[in-house]
Chains A and B, each alone.
Chain A
């Protein structure tokens, strides 16, 4: 088996008394679309936050390419080539598409003006147009504020931004939620294209047919733990729903699981992740 590009081991995250992640494992592979599914409250969003630097886990370890990494901010994740399409898109609605694509990474003019902090707006506009064109996105006006665009166009911009900067891993939290049929198809196409470029794509979605259509592997979270892993070809929607809800017990899952050894039936024996807590604050 190829080594995972991004791997989380025994990650714990607690919000007050709520243990959102109770020793969760997760792995994503280069050039592979991994779907992360689970019912509401299973800990998907929390896990993504921990793996994209938005939240600091209280315990557990995260590895990128076999190296233990510390993700203490979105910036440190971005520096490692990890990008996220947030569910709320995280766009500055009063700025135009190019400004959003380069947000936090603005290009500056060469020479003295650049040292004074003067932006190279033309270069960013060109680069932004290129990044959008790569996704087949055409905007009515390049300098219209993002807030004046449609939901689908906004979503395309958020996806384009992550795709443009992600060199290793890209998290997509419900990237097709706001989209119509045609657009949805196009985003799935983009996901495949990004995967083919060698990036590890992690797709968080509630839409099971979509998951089955685009994912190569599926990891299932339930109550803050990984409860199953599947190869996409071997399962149907019923299996996934069964794993998500717990209707399908781990023993039964073994038959379908591509990595039967890894099935997290053992998790119930209570791996208190705090002991590994070198990652904590």
Chain B
């Protein structure tokens, strides 16, 4: 694949010398490398958006209520996007997250109502939440086995489990949402706040994001995820257990979708079966907006956070300044296409060297 000798148009003498060749990397500073990073540019876009809306309507946009609702609305998507970041960095894709989220919410709700009822205490609630997590994990492991062991393309695998998870949720509920979830769950996890200030949903999402970011950036698990996404065959030849690692990555994505299902159930007090059909695309868009390459090998959790908040800020801001909020979808779509275009262009520039 990479045989520059055959394609390199430059004369031999002009080619690389083993020692100190003045290539693109030459004299590169931390600053210039940071400027090249996709996530920085998209972060600047977010900053400009926030500043713009703040200047236009400081009272409304910067009100504690608005800030809190932006964060709360983004919490479940953020949790899902953390898992999606791992999947996309490993050069995969997970379309099933929205359905898995619904499935987890349904099995959690059914468990809670089945053994506890609406007035139940924490025992049934905790069991229900764990069942929700396990439900997500099970779908994630299913995805992982089909991708890593059966070698079916992840797009197809997760398209299949998207349908299966959602269908299963509908079969379990007969198609109608479970509404009589325990009051305690929604009162504490859904509406409660840490120290009366920060909603628990946000706290959980932030913790998941920080842990997910640290693991991705500093551990061997993260390094293997990048290596596999960058060059699967090289990772395999280097002795990395590629199949097992991919299995873990998809399992993680499923588990986090399950957690998001629990959070969503607590927040909305219902299973919202019909409300997550585009969650997968929202998560993928957030991850890619944040500079993670759809081709794998590149990406940061910081970028994903920015990618989650751009649509959230746009949506909230448009409402406040009186623009139809539908423009949010238009704007995010356009920025998404631009982000991928830039990524492809950079890759092509690199391959042509």
Contact A151–B4 (Cβ < 8 Å):
yes
Binds A, one of B18-26, B128-136, B168-176, B257-265: B18-26
Q: Can you list 11 A-B pairs, Cβ within 8 angstroms, ordered by A?
A: A74-B238, A94-B297, A94-B298, A103-B234, A104-B238, A117-B215, A140-B27, A150-B21, A151-B16, A178-B2, A180-B16
B227 within 8 A of A: yes
Neighbouring B residues of A91 by C-beta, 8 Å? 231, 234
Stretch at the interface among A141-149, A222-230, A260-268: A141-149
B219/A117 in contact, CB under 8 A: yes
* CB neighbors of B among A150-180 (8 A): 150-154, 156, 177-180
Residue of B nearest to A92 (CB): B230
B237 touching A74, Cβ below 8 Å:
yes
In the complex, besides A105-B239, A117-B220, A178-B5, 7 extra interface pairs with C-beta distance below 8 angstroms are A88-B2, A94-B230, A148-B23, A150-B23, A153-B23, A181-B12, A183-B18
A85 to chain B, nearest CB (A): 11
Does the CB pair B25–A139 fall under 8 Å? Answer: yes
A149 contacts which chain B residues (CB < 8 A)? 23, 25
Task: Please report the C-alpha to C-alpha distance between residue A136 and residue B17 in the assembled complex, in whole angstroms.
Answer: 11
Residues of B within 8 A of A54 (CB): 237
Count residues of chain B with CB under 8 A from any CB of chain A: 49
B230 interface neighbour in A75, A93, A135, Cβ under 8 Å: A93
Question: Known contacts A54-B237, A140-B21, A140-B28; is A119 also within 8 Å of B218 by CB?
Answer: yes
Q: Are B25 and A119 in contact (CB under 8 A)?
A: no
Question: How many A residues face the partner with a CB closer than 8 A?
Answer: 53
Chain A window 3-25, contacts with chain B (Cβ cutoff 8 Å), 1 for yes, 0 for no: 00000000000000000000000
Binding site for A on B (CB under 8 A): 1-5, 8, 12-28, 33, 215, 218-221, 223, 226-227, 229-231, 233-240, 293, 296-298, 350, 353
Would A152 and B17 be within 8 Å (CB), given that A92-B226, A95-B226 are in contact?
A: yes
Interface residues in chain A, defined as those with a beta carbon under 8 Å from any beta carbon in chain B? 54, 73-75, 78, 84, 86-95, 99, 103-106, 108, 116-119, 121, 135-141, 143-144, 147-154, 156, 177-183, 186
How many angstroms from the CA of A141 to the CA of B34 in the assembled complex? 13
Q: Which of A119, A178, A180 contacts B220 (CB 8 A)?
A: A119
Q: Which partner residue on chain B sits nearest A187 by CB separation? A: B18
Residues of A within 8 A of B24 (CB): 140, 144, 148
Q: In the complex, which residues of chain B have a beta carbon less than 8 angstroms from the beta carbon of A144?
A: 24-25, 28, 33
Residue of A nearest to B220 (CB): A117
Q: How many angstroms from the CA of A248 to the CA of B89 in the assembled complex?
A: 53
